[in-house]
Amino acid sequence: MSLTAMKKCIGSLRYLVILLAVPLAASTARIYVMNGAGDTVEVIDPATNKVVQVIEGIEAGHGVTFAPDGSRAYITDEAENALAVVDTKTAKVIKMVPLSGQPNLPVVTKDGKRVLVCIREKPPLAGIEIVDTASLETIKKIPMKAGMHDIFMTPDGKYAVAGSPTGKFLSVIDLQTDQPVWEVPFDMGVLTMSIEPGPGGAARRIFVQLQGLSGFAVVDFAKRAEVDRIKFPEEHSEFPPNSTHGSVVAPDGKTFWINFATANAVMVYSLPELKLLGRVALPMENLPGRPSIGSAPQWLGTSARWCCLRGGEHDCQD
């Protein structure tokens, strides 16, 4: 997608308040809305801007991932410490898989046989829980030295990369052995991240967002180390200093997009050079009876279509 088209999409954005998720292999794209203050998940058809399903019985949903064929959604339920397995056709919960602690983001393996779930608890409960998608049972727990929050799959599906805000590290897990193989320590808590693909889909670099950093760290996957730290241009902003949260590598691998809340903007970098190409300014949010605020960007996402949420509406570009 071009920078101009993405600017058009983001330019209509008011504020991101939910997690966007689109099952790419499904015949019809859908947006799953986590209702953090309730016990439902709303499913929106982006073609009609209508709620077409309501999944009940999931209180304080945190994250969602999908089976490769789009037949199931796996949603973490913070209130019940469980992974809800949902039939995407009927919107019915097939099973609530009990977990050992508070879950955060889940991710499904490329073959769809396992779901890895971050458990954000103190040791000894901290770790990554692995759920078998055939038996719908937990088959393994990978212990970690601190609570884990976000987890992402490398493009080739060989590794999972998980981050810890309190432990200030990221851990790379070999999915052939389900064991951590290396980690990178930081001087700040680890937030979200994006993984740049190299030849054959192998991971080349990880772009890591850190608590308190107006920018991002660059981890070289082959060197297993942080090799650079990119800082955003200094801002004289009316918005308070804020950690960046949410980034994405464009589907063609030519650009990297990252939220910059302090500037109320999304920054765009070229790949592989990491040269700053420009920014997409986000609009102010005018709330009745309250001072105007920034859009407070939190997440970016891509699929075969780009979807931006603005208030109760959304806009998608091919």
pLDDT at 289: 75
Distances 123 to 37, 70, 105 between C-alpha atoms, Å: 28, 34, 18
**pLDDT tens digits along 202-258:** 999 999 999 989 999 999 999 999 999 999 988 766 666 666 788 999 999 999 999
| CB-CB contact of 148 with 104 (8 Å) | yes
pLDDT band at 309 (very low <50, low <70, confident <90, very high): very low
Task: Please write the tens of the pLDDT for every residue from 21-60.
Answer: 444 444 578 889 888 778 999 999 988 989 999 999 999 8
Nearest to 232 by CA among 253, 261, 271: 261
Contact 225, 242 (CB under 8 A): no
pLDDT at 312 over 50: no
**% of the chain surpassing 70 pLDDT:** 79
Residue 16 has pLDDT above 70, yes or no: no
Burial of 273 per CB tally in 10 Å (0-12, 13-18, 19+) = exposed
CA angle centred on 43, ends 134 and 111, rounded to 5°: 30
Q: Which residues are CB-neighbours of 59 under 8 A, at least 6 positions away?
A: 38, 39, 77, 78, 79, 80
pLDDT at 307: 36
Query: pTM for the complete prediction?
Result: 0.84
For the segment 177-203, what is each residue's pLDDT rounded down to a tens digit? 999 999 999 999 999 999 999 988 899
Q: What is the pLDDT of residue 47?
A: 86
pLDDT > 90: percent of the chain: 65
Provide the pLDDT for residue 237. 64
Question: Distances from the Cα of 23 to the Cαs of 49, 84, 152, 213, in angstroms?
Answer: 17, 16, 16, 32
Backbone phi, then psi, for 40, in 5-degree steps?
-135, 160
Q: pLDDT tens for residues 41-50?
A: 999 998 898 9
- Residue-level pLDDT at 19: 43
Beta partners for 140?
130
Place of tokens 């953090």: 36
The residue-averaged pLDDT of 90-95 equals 97
**pLDDT for residue 15:** 30
> Can you give the pLDDT at residue 42?
93
Residue 280 tokens read as 């997409």
* pLDDT for res 68: 93
Do residues 55 and 39 make contact, with C-beta atoms less than 8 angstroms apart?
no
Question: 104 and 149 in contact (C-beta within 8 Å)?
Answer: yes
| pLDDT tens digit sequence for 245-288 | 889 999 999 999 999 888 888 999 999 999 999 998 887 776 67
Per-residue pLDDT, 236 = 63
pLDDT exceeds 90 at position 317: no
Q: How confident is the model at residue 313 (pLDDT cuts 50, 70, 90)?
A: very low
pLDDT tens string 135-159: 999 999 999 999 999 999 999 999 9
- The token duo for 297 is 């960007």
pLDDT recorded at residue 245: 83
